[in-house]
Structure formats: structure tokens, C-alpha cells
């Protein structure tokens, strides 16, 4: 009953309240990105959700479009600086996902939605992460985020699927607040983002 009724209800009520509460911060972030980085303001991308259904995720853009002499984009860590780095370090880039939660595409707590191209690469156990809605934060995020291996991340995702309940969600929520404050596990090995998943062999 919690997963199918109370969790979606709490998600949507919470998302609506937070969108109203954080609207000044969302507006300020929008203006700062527009002034200092230019358009686009938002980063949008197709991601797989519940049962692998594709939806569009929204985040604030944090990386520039800087390129090398041959026209190729610079590595992520070289394009993350200035206002983008500040927004990323404070996890403000996640705020637009409240709209995804309000629409019922995401939950506050659940496995992070990854790339569509990863779908055929999961083994049967890893694919179970799509048995629940993806979340803004999750069990894997408070256990290392981008600082742990893909195999560890998926193990935490499936562990969440098998043990989902209100108290587990509350624990993850409170630990997420702690992680945001101490800025722990944001990057992997000095990189701005996690390296791509190429399947488990």
C-alpha cells in the first residue's frame, strides 16, 4: 500500500510544496545561468523510468560548451566551473526534477535514472532497478554516489527495491541532507561525472 498509494501521494504533495518554497532559489539559479553561461538554462535528456518507460528529465545546466582546437567538447571536469560548479556543489542542479516528481515520472527516493543506452547492458538482476520509480536521491547515492563502482551502485539499487518502505525512505532522505551539507561523493576519482557503464562481464 505504501509503494502504490502513500509514496506517490507524498511525492506529489512534497514536490508541490518544495516548488513553491524554492521558487525564489529556482528563479535566482535560472537568472545566474542565463547571465553567466547563456542558454540553454536547463539540461534535458531522455531517461528510463518505471518499467523502463522513457521520460524527459530536467536539471539545471552546469557545464559549458567549451571545445578544443579540433571542435571536440572538452572533458567534463574542464567544462564544470564558475556558477555551474557552484550549482553542482550545492546540488541545486537537481531542483528542476521536482517537476518530474510532480508529474509522477519520478519519486523523491529511488534508483537514479540513468541513460537509455544502458538498458540492453543490464543483467537480469541489475534490470530490477526499474521495478520502482527512479528518484532524485537513493540508497546508492548516500552510499557513495559517483565515488563507487557501477556494480556496487546496482547492488544498492536492488537492495532498495527489495526493502522499500516508509522508514527506509526517511532514512535515505535524512542521510541525503547530510551528504549535501558535507558535499561527499559528488565525483568519481576527480572527474566531474561518473564514467560510462559498459556492461558487467
Q: What is the pLDDT of residues 153-183, one digit of tens each?
A: 999 999 999 999 999 999 999 998 887 776 6
Rounded CA-CA distance 112/157 in Å is: 8
Q: Which residues are 56's β-sheet partners?
A: 46
Lowest-confidence segment of 9-18, 58-67, 96-105, 186-195 by average pLDDT: 186-195
Rounded CA-CA distance 71/166 in Å is: 49
Which distant-in-sequence residues (6+ apart) come within 8 Å of 193 by Cβ? 76, 146, 187
Q: How far is CA 169 from the centre of its chain?
A: 16
More confident residue, 47 or 195: 47
pLDDT at 72 over 80: no
- Position 187 scores a pLDDT of 44
pLDDT at 145 over 90: no
Q: What is the mean pLDDT of the chain?
A: 88
pLDDT at 193 over 70: no
- Position 190 scores a pLDDT of 41
Rounded CA-CA distance 68/43 in Å is: 22
H/E segment holding residue 91? none
- Position 75 scores a pLDDT of 73
Instruction: Express each pLDDT in 10-31 by its tens digit.
Output: 999 999 999 999 999 999 999 9
Give me the mean pLDDT over the 89-106 stretch: 93
- Position 148 scores a pLDDT of 84
Most confident residue range from 31-45, 122-136, 172-186: 122-136
Which distant-in-sequence residues (6+ apart) come within 8 Å of 5 by Cβ? none
> pTM (2 decimals)?
0.85
Confidence band for 44, pLDDT divided at 50, 70 and 90: very high
Rounded CA-CA distance 8/70 in Å is: 48
Give me the mean pLDDT over the 106-126 stretch: 95
Amino acid at each position: 500500500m505504501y509503494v502504490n498509494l502513500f509514496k506517490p501521494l507524498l511525492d506529489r504533495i512534497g514536490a508541490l510544496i518544495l516548488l513553491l518554497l524554492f521558487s525564489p532559489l529556482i528563479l535566482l539559479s535560472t537568472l545566474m545561468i542565463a547571465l553567466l553561461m547563456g542558454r540553454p538554462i536547463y539540461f534535458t535528456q531522455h531517461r528510463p523510468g518505471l518499467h523502463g518507460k522513457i521520460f524527459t528529465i530536467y536539471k539545471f545546466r552546469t557545464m559549458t560548451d567549451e571545445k578544443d582546437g579540433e571542435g571536440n567538447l572538452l572533458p567534463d571536469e574542464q567544462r564544470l566551473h564558475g556558477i555551474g560548479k557552484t550549482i553542482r556543489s550545492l546540488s541545486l542542479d537537481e531542483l528542476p526534477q521536482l517537476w518530474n516528481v510532480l508529474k509522477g515520472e519520478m519519486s523523491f527516493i529511488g534508483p537514479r535514472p540513468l541513460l537509455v543506452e544502458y538498458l540492453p547492458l543490464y543483467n537480469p538482476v541489475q534490470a530490477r532497478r526499474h521495478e520502482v520509480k527512479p528518484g532524485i536521491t537513493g540508497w546508492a547515492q548516500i552510499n557513495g554516489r559517483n565515488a563507487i563502482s557501477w556494480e556496487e551502485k546496482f547492488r544498492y539499487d536492488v537492495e532498495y527495491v527489495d526493502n522499500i518502505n516508509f522508514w527506509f525512505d526517511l532514512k535515505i532522505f535524512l542521510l541525503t541532507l547530510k551528504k549535501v551539507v558535507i558535499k561527499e561523493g559528488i565525483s568519481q576519482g576527480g572527474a566531474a561525472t561518473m564514467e560510462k557503464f559498459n556492461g558487467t562481464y
